Amino acid sequence: MDKQKDFQLTIDETISKYEIKKIDEGLDETQVQHRLKKFGLNKLEVKKVPKWKLLLRQFNNMIIYILIFSALLTLLMGHTSDAVIIAIVVVVNALIGYYQEANASDALERIKEMLSSEATVYRDGIRKDIPAEEIVIGDIVFLEAGDNVPADLRIIEADNLRIQESALTGEADSVEKETEPLTNPDTPLAEQSNIAFASTPVTSGSGKGIVVATGAQTEIGKISTEVNNTEERKTPLMKEIDGLGKGITYVIMAVSITLFIISLFLETYSLSVLSLAVVTMIVGSIPEGLPATTSVVLAMGVSDMAKNKHTIVKTLPAVETLGSVDVVATDKTGTLTKNEMTVKDIIFADRSFTVTGDGYQPVGQILEQGKPISMDERLKLFLEVGYEANDTVLVQEADQWKINGEPTDGAFLTLYHKMFDCDVIPEYDEIDMLPFDSDYRYIAKLVNDRSKQKLLLIKGSPDKLFAMAKAQNPSFADTFWNQQVSSLSAEGKRVVAVGYKQVSTNIQEITHDLLNEGIELLGIAGIIDPPREEVISALKEMNEAGVEVKMITGDHPLTAKAIGEKLGLAPKINVITGLELDTLANEDFKNAVLNNQVFARTTPKNKMEIIEALQESGKVTAMTGDGVNDAPALKRADIGVAMGKKGTDVAKDSADMILTDDNFGTMSVAIREGRRIYDNIKKSILFLLPTSFAEGLIIAFTILMQKEMPLQPTQLLWINMVSAITIQFAFIFEPAEAGLMKRKPRKTGSSLLNRQDIWQMLYVSVLMAVISILAYEWLLTQGVAQIVASTMMVNIVVLSKIFYIFNIRTSQPVISASFFTNPKAFLIIGIMLVLQLLLTYVPFMQTAFHTANMSLTGWMIALVSGFFILVVTEIDKFIRLKYQKITGARKIPN
In angstroms, the CA 660 to CA 573 distance is 29
Q: What is the distance of C-alpha 874 from the center of its chain?
A: 40
Burial class of residue 777, CB neighbours in 10 A (0-12, 13-18, 19+): middle
Q: How big is the CA angle at 686 (ends 682 and 690), to the nearest 5 degrees?
A: 160
- The greatest distance separating any two alpha carbons of the chain, rounded to the nearest whole angstrom, comes to 121
**DSSP code for 461:** -
Catalytic residue among 331, 345, 529, 653: 331
- Extended strands (E) in 126-228: 126-131, 140-144, 152-163, 175-176, 195-196, 202-213
Give how far Cα 868 sits from Cα of 352, 605, 728, 774, 802, Å. Answer: 77, 60, 21, 14, 12
- Extended strands (E) in 65-151: 118-123, 126-131, 140-144
Contact call for residues 285 and 696 (beta carbons, < 8 A): yes
Phi–psi pair at 471, nearest 5 degrees: -65, -35
**DSSP code for 403:** E
In angstroms, the CA 224 to CA 215 distance is 10
Three-state secondary-structure class, residue 494: strand
Catalytic status, residue 350: no
For CA atoms 95, 99, 100, 105, give the dihedral sign.
positive
Contact call for residues 331 and 564 (beta carbons, < 8 A): no
**DSSP code for 531:** B
In angstroms, the CA 332 to CA 422 distance is 30
In angstroms, the CA 144 to CA 158 distance is 10
Q: Kind of pairing, strands 152-163 and 118-123?
A: unpaired
Q: Residues of 279-305 as b/e, b for ≥16 C-beta within 10 angstroms?
A: bbbbbbbbbbbbbbbbbbbbbbbbebb
The dihedral region occupied by 817, where left means phi > 0, alpha psi between -120 and 50, and beta the remainder, is alpha
In sequence order, what are the residues at sequence separation of 6 or more whose Cβ sits closer than 8 angstroms to the Cβ of residue 365?
Answer: 355, 356, 357, 372, 418
Bridge partners (DSSP) of residue 641 are 624, 657
**DSSP code for 617:** T
Q: How big is the CA angle at 862 (ends 861 and 865), to the nearest 5 degrees?
A: 85
Q: Which residues are catalytically annotated?
A: 331
